[in-house]
Structure 1
Amino acid sequence: MAPLISAEEKLNERIKELTCLYAVSSFIANSNLDDLHPTLKAIARSLQGALLYSEEASVEIKIEETIFFAGKKTAEQVFIISAIKAFNIPIGAIKVGYSKAKFTSNSFLNEEKQLLHKVAFEIGNLFERKQIIEKEMLSRRQVERADRLSILGEITAGIAHELNTPLANILGYSELLKEQFQDNKAVLNDLEKIRNSAIYSREVVKKLMFFSCDMPHQMARTNITTVIKDAISLLKPNFSKKGITCQVAIQETNIPFRVDSIQLTQVIFNLIINAIYFSPEKGVITVKVSQTSTHIIIEISDQGTGIDKTIGDNIFNPFFTTKPVGEGSGLGLSVVHGIVKSHKGSIKHSPNSPKGTIFTIRFPKN
């Protein structure tokens, strides 16, 4: 049975409830979606003040694992509770309680129960708005990134074509000059340096062409488990240098896929060489290959330092590198991205547990 209160007290309670609803709406309208903690704390305090026995009440707003509390804590309580939902999915709850020693479940007014449901509904709407804005921002960043990469692809393709001819000339004329100065060791040494530099530059051009998807595909239906195993076996000396163990887990021995085997090998090489570079001595690198009815999935994980959130959006951009000067061209991951994209696939990175990074590639079968 609800507590007996006079008409004047009822009027005061309605005013408190309306004031609370107005305050909650104001808090939500002026909230910072990047940090909702102050808003939820203020709502908890406002809700406590709207209750009949506000001095004796406690209000607990729980969102996932975070709790926002206001009021008087007691060990044993009688309480009412209302779920908080965003898009019909429970994300938390509001619990209002009194000490069990002084109150019973009948101490709550029906209007207070309705108020609790309204506040829970308003908080749910707030989190729905937050999720919608976050998804819009993510979609916008993905579109902007795709546009940037498309423009960079066009630019790098043009640069690669422009550089190919002069590099071929440098290599050709350096070979001719070597024949003319066979007896001059100093000149031959200098020509060899020119030749090596030109070959290195040519490899950079090849990577640029991979990134811009301007390398011709040699697509053929093949068993990709064989391609991946062969690529890993070629990297055994690299593993040995740092005492790294490579664990390979392949779901099935035969996973057929129409792919450019050379380009897939390039993808595996680049990702594993990166993983080796950032892995600690005697670390473990894991390569997993599996398939579903619609996709082929390749996961390469390491136990390195991981990828800082502040640079996560940039790692596939050409010439972006966290390696010291002279140790990386910044083209490895952009090449991987270009090859995967040219095969209509996707590549993402996520944190490994307890540390490191997982790169996940998904190729559609059709």
Structure 2
Amino acid sequence: MQNYYKAYLREKQARDELEELLEQKTSKLYALNIELEKKLEQLQQQQVAVVQSEKMATLGTLSAGVAHEINNPLAYLTCNLDTLASYSEEIGSYLRAITKLINNEQTFEQFKSEIDQLQQSVTTSDLIQDVSDISEDCIEGCQRISKIVANLLDFAKPKIETDTEFDTHEVIEHATELLKNKLKQVQVTIDCEKELIITGNKANLTQAFINVLVNAAQSCNEKRELDPQYKATLKIKARNRDNHAVIDIRDNGKGIEEGVINKVFDPFFSTKPLGEGTGMGLAVVYGIISNHHGVVSISNNGEGGATISIQIPLSNSTNPLS
């Protein structure tokens, strides 16, 4: 009996020691988990900051083009308003003549004579048509400026968005619209299948496409400096392949030196002269695409230029890329 009791005590002591050890390990694991969550939150905040910083750098390259895009409609708005101001005296003369007739301040014969005299400078039909045309042009110009500013603000302002569903084509159109002036010397063709619906952060994905397109435009400009007869082309093609949106962005620019092509997605790596690039453009692209469970790769084209290929799972995909 004594032996059984001693065995029981040894077993109880071992069990207590195990429970104490387990409790210590659980406490340590909990503390490590809390620390890991804090680190993850910091990394997410830093990623948002890096993306926003890259946006500001991109805005610098877009600013001249955006100013030009706004100046065009602003110029014909100013011209049309000047014309409208010059018509104000003629319109006022017609209205004064009608008012005098209504108030019996002149006879119909006097009214007709005054109108005939006014018609010799500007006819009523011309006034009506011109004012209508001017109004339509002014409305179109204001809408164009409003759209440019809205696109720019939507791109520039920092956002922490929840994931939403959207069509890949919308993002491509938005990116090319923002870069319209920067791509004006490049023949851009977009061939995108309909209903390539993906889930993610639309603003960040737009940023990724803008970064890729800016690099392609710069590569084309560099080649144009070497060959004035060169015709720049940029082809954007999006297809559904194995339940993934596959977007190929192909330019016929300078291409990338084979010795550095494996480094282009590295943070702070840049082939541009010092002070002309942040070295974060394609690194941000890599991070954004990875966050959408996708992959991005780059390769030189046999006939010149480079192609960036992006693959992102569609919303109904059950096998995201790793």
Please give the TM-score of this superposition, normalised by the length of structure 1: 0.41
Compare CA radii of gyration and give the structure with the larger one: 2
- Report the structure, 1 or 2, having the larger strand content: 1
Task: Return the structure number with greater helix share.
Answer: 2
**TM-score, normalised on structure 2?**
0.46
- Where relative contact order (Cα < 8 A, 6+ residues apart) is larger, the structure is 2
